């Protein structure tokens, strides 16, 4: 059995957290490949090392007058690592590493290089502490000349390299372009590295250790003490993350999904908790009819009405072109017989609204155009909905009882999700009503 384990920033923020991570790794000898993030926040209000590095690099490339501030920032970063080294009782000295980093900063090696040092140095410490081999991600995670991740080349290199390496630490978040320049993924990208490594070694499971016990059915900022999700499919997860639920980087599912490798989200601070298992498919009955609820606020909608629009070839295309020309991305698009409604992000739309209205008039000569703002979209997601009658009925009666006016309903043909549009100010009540009817009453 082979497991790849990724530890997030808060799981490695201090020597204490390092010890917890090492205990987890040492408890199961199949945890052979470790992907660390940079040290994160030790307590609320603390700063992640990645943010310190970005700041430090900005100071490094500014005028001499910022030199003192730069020195201060650099020492603060060094202190974060030294604190871990001392706390773990390691004898390693990072002086040479810091000399190189200073030199590269003065040569303007780039923001990516700067940020990547957080994971790089943490990887060195982790490897030393565990007695695992350290593999610099710049040698095995490849980006092309344009800076796009090169999955094929990476998989070739990495699987070859790890075939001869029984236990290794590979820092997350970065790789290198063909010219050797370091390149990072977007923020939170160590999750992606973990997934890439899991694919390369054909792991049985990719464990993603973080500071929460998995995905929750709803946002705890909206619903009080929501229950955790035991098992979720990749498709359900996509739907929920698209609607704003975050725990895992969105792109982290692609490498493992193709290989059928499950991801297990677990809590470093509470390793006995079950966590959430993310799988391609499962026969296991979900605990509740719905798997999760997520939503986003601040949308505007544009409804275009024209009699017989369905028989006009290219009608939708012409409307959508207006949005494309104005560089407005479309979030959602329910339609009726003679109407189509386009949901867009309000902030993106507001400044261009008159151009869009004029464009639609010119293109399709609608009978009527209606704009609405301050709308929220809520996705109710669950593989269990397909096999259960009356799900939407229950949702809408719950919303009616909560006095929430439903502005829009859209059920995907997969029957995996129902999207509901409500007013921004009904957002919280709507989510609570849905949670209540499916989870608290548990019928």
Q: How far is the CB of 316 from ligand ASP (least distance, A)?
A: 38
Q: Which stretch binds ligand ASP (CB under 6 A): 88-96, 128-136, 188-196, 252-260?
A: 188-196
Q: Which is nearer to ligand ASP, 173 or 299 (CB)?
A: 173
- Residue from 80, 84, 112, 118 touching ligand ASP (CB under 6 A): that is 118
Contact 159, 177 (CB under 8 A): no
Q: Which is nearer to ligand ASP, 255 or 359 (CB)?
A: 255
- Residue from 99, 107, 187, 401 touching ligand ASP (CB under 6 A): that is 187
Beta-carbon contacts of residue 74 (< 8 Å; ≥ 6 apart) = 56, 98, 102
- Residue from 5, 9, 123, 217 touching ligand ASP (CB under 6 A): that is 9
Contact 80, 98 (CB under 8 A): no
Q: Which is nearer to ligand ASP, 172 or 421 (CB)?
A: 172
Beta strands in 153-291 (DSSP E): 168-169, 174-176, 182-184, 205-210, 231-233, 263-267, 276-279
- The rounded distance, in Å, linking the Cα atoms of 56 and 40 is 16
Kindly tell me the sign of the dihedral angle through the C-alpha atoms of 282, 287, 290, 294. Answer: negative
Tokens 């544009």 label which residue?
302
Phi and psi of 231, rounded to 5°? -135, 135
Q: How far is the CB of 184 from ligand ASP (least distance, A)?
A: 8
- Residue from 123, 171, 172, 421 touching ligand ASP (CB under 6 A): that is 172
Tokens 């709803």 label which residue?
218
Read off the tokens for 275.
């966590």
Q: How far is the CB of 187 from ligand ASP (least distance, A)?
A: 4
- Judged by CB under 6 A, does residue 175 bind ligand ASP? no
- Judged by CB under 6 A, does residue 421 bind ligand ASP? no
Q: Which is nearer to ligand ASP, 9 or 275 (CB)?
A: 9
Contact 409, 374 (CB under 8 A): no
Residue showing the smallest CB distance to ligand ASP in the complex: 190
Q: Which is nearer to ligand ASP, 111 or 352 (CB)?
A: 111
User: Total residues contacting ligand ASP (rule CB under 6 A)?
Assistant: 13
* Integer angstrom CA distances of residue 179 from 159, 200, 438: 22, 23, 54
Q: How far is the CB of 178 from ligand ASP (least distance, A)?
A: 23
Contact 200, 260 (CB under 8 A): no
Read off the tokens for 23.
């205990």
Interface contacts to ligand ASP, rule CB under 6 A: 9, 37-38, 48, 50, 118, 172-173, 187-191
């Amino acid at each position: 059995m082979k497991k790849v384990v990724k530890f997030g920033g808060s799981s490695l923020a201090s020597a204490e957290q390092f010890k917890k991570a090492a205990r987890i790794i040492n408890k199961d000898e199949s945890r052979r490949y470790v992907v660390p993030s940079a040290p994160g926040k030790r307590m609320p209000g603390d700063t992640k090392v990645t943010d310190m590095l970005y700041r430090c690099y900005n100071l490094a490339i500014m005028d001499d007058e910022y030199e003192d501030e730069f020195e201060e920032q650099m020492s603060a970063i060094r202190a974060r690592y030294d604190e871990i080294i001392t706390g773990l009782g390691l004898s390693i000295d990072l002086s040479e590493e810091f000399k190189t980093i200073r030199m590269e900063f003065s040569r303007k090696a780039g923001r990516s290089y700067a940020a990547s040092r957080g994971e790089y140095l943490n990887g060195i410490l982790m490897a030393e502490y565990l007695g695992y081999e350290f593999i610099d991600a710049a040698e095995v995670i490849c980006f092309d000349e344009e800076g796009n991740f090169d999955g094929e080349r990476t998989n070739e290199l990495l699987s070859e390299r790890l075939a001869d390496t029984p236990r290794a630490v590979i820092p997350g978040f970065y790789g290198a372009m063909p010219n050797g320049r370091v390149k990072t993924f977007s923020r939170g990208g160590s999750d992606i590295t973990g997934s890439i490594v899991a694919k390369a070694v054909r792991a049985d499971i990719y464990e993603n250790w973080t500071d929460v016990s998995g995905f929750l059915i709803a946002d705890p900022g909206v619903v009080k003490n929501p229950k955790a999700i035991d098992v979720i499919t990749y498709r359900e997860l996509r739907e929920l993350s698209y609607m704003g639920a975050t725990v895992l980087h969105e792109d982290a599912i692609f490498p493992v999904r193709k290989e059928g490798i499950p991801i297990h989200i677990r809590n470093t601070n509470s390793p006995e908790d079950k966590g959430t298992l993310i799988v391609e498919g499962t026969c296991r009955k979900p605990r509740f009819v719905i798997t999760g609820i997520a939503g986003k606020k601040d949308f505007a909608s544009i409804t275009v009405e024209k009699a017989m629009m369905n028989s006009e070839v290219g009608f939708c295309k012409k409307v959508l072109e207006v949005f494309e020309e104005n560089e407005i991305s479309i979030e959602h698009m329910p339609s009726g017989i003679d109407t189509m409604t386009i949901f867009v992000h309000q902030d993106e739309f507001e400044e261009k609204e008159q151009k869009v209205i004029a464009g639609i008039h010119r293109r399709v000569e609608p009978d009527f155009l209606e704009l609405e703002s301050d709308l929220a979209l809520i996705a109710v997601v669950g593989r269990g909905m397909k096999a259960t009658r009356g799900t939407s009925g229950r949702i809408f009666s719950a919303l009616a009882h909560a006095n929430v006016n439903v502005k829009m309903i859209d059920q995907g043909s997969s029957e995996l999700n129902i999207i509901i549009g409500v007013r921004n100010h009904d957002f919280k009540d709507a989510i609570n009503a849905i949670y209540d009817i499916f989870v608290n009453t548990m019928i």
